[in-house]
Amino acid sequence: MGATVQDVGHFGADGPGLFVLYTGGTIGMLEGPGGGLAPLDLHSLMKYVPTAHELPVGLTVAAFDEAIDSATIGVADWLAIADALVEHSPGHIGSVVLHGTDTMAYSASALSFLLEGITTPIVLTGAQRPITSIRSDGRENLTTALEVAAARFTGAPVVPEVSIFFNDVLLRGNRAAKVHASSYRGFASPNLAPLATAGVSLDYATDLVRAPGTGPLRRPGGMSTDVAVIQLHPAFDEASLTATLSRDGLRGVVLQAYGAGNGPTHRWFLDGLQQAVDRGVTVVVTTQCRAGTVQAGLYASGAALLSTGAISAGDMTFEAAVTKLMVLLDRHADPDDVRREMQQDLCGEITV
């Protein structure tokens, strides 16, 4: 069961404004008496963001019925976020999703693949320190995310795509990754320069920003959970491979290989993958490196991997590869269609 989204109210100026969805995460937490962090309800949270009331645009605010730690997020929550964005998209010039940092890059990737017809900005943000704390990064992150979502140039939205604003960078959502557990510079997109950098001014890299889609915003399908992940390590053995590949209903595997897409050349490994591919499982090879790309056949060990019928994820992030595979497995019954689209650039997630 996923979260239910509840409308909370309207804040600030009248007229077409921004839709803000609060899902939870550290940004909206308060330190309890025992020292642990617990989520705040949205009304209490808004008190800590006085700047939100001073923006020239109004905010329509909604929230998960219960704010969550994003470590617990799942497909049903992603569908609930996507549907809330679709429902509120008419009449709003952009959206901001407040989200925990732990899985924000997965959620941004998932939304980018789930949604079609994106014509206005959808900006995810959060914080490493609660907004209730004096040194919170949450106020700046939220204020700038709102500014990005409202930004227009000659009447058109400046960044009509799913993005993450964090600290001083605006990143394409399906290119981003959480790269630090505590630094305020928590996110990066190693294979794509930021869509904007925030200093005294907000400087947009307009040449990198995707063209708007053809609206209306819609969510044509869902996500399959018939996927598994294999992270290679030197002690990875046949029993581990068999345990993963024999999972009931398995239709997709994301393999976290080494370097340029290399893996062991043991017969049990290659044969195991080959048999999975032959029975229709889509095996996608990513790299454990944060930056760079899988290069088919650069090494014999990589070529052997791809000779099983596994496909290359190119320079996609792991987060993008997993969520894209989940969306494509829901969209197509035929593995050939999944494999073909997996290697295409659907929304700026891969360099083809």
Tell me whether residue 4 or residue 72 sits nearer to ligand ASP (CB atom). Answer: 72
Tell me whether residue 165 or residue 204 sits nearer to ligand ASP (CB atom). Answer: 165
Instruction: Tell me how far apart the alpha carbons of residues 104 and 114 are, in angstroms, rounded to a whole number.
Output: 15
Tell me whether residue 105 or residue 114 sits nearer to ligand ASP (CB atom). Answer: 105
177-210 as b/e: b if 16+ CB within 10 A: bbeeeeebebbbbebbebbbebeeebebeeebbb
Binding marks (x or -) toward ligand ASP, 68..107, rule CB under 6 A? -xxx----------------------------xxx-----
Residues 122-141 that bind ligand ASP (CB under 6 A): 126, 128
Which residue type is seen at 134? I
The two beta strands, 177-178 and 187-188, are antiparallel
Is-catalytic flag, 26? yes
> Which residue has the CB atom at the shortest distance from ligand ASP?
100
CA distances to 170, 263, 278, 280 from 272, rounded to whole Å, are 41, 13, 10, 13
Residues 15-44 that bind ligand ASP (CB under 6 A): 24-26
Tell me whether residue 100 or residue 121 sits nearer to ligand ASP (CB atom). Answer: 100
Binding marks (x or -) toward ligand ASP, 155..194, rule CB under 6 A? ----------------------------------------
Exactly one of 26, 119, 143, 323 is catalytic; which is it?
26
By the rule CB under 6 A, 261 interacts with ligand ASP = no
User: ∠249-250-254 over CA atoms, to 5°?
Assistant: 165
Which segment (63-71, 82-90, 163-171, 266-274) binds ligand ASP by CB under 6 A? 63-71
The two beta strands, 122-125 and 92-98, are parallel
Is residue 256 within a helix (H) or strand (E), and if so which, with residue range? strand 252-257
Contact 319, 105 (CB under 8 A): yes
**Catalytic residue IDs:** 26
Q: List residues binding ligand ASP (CB under 6 A).
A: 24-26, 69-71, 100-102, 126, 128
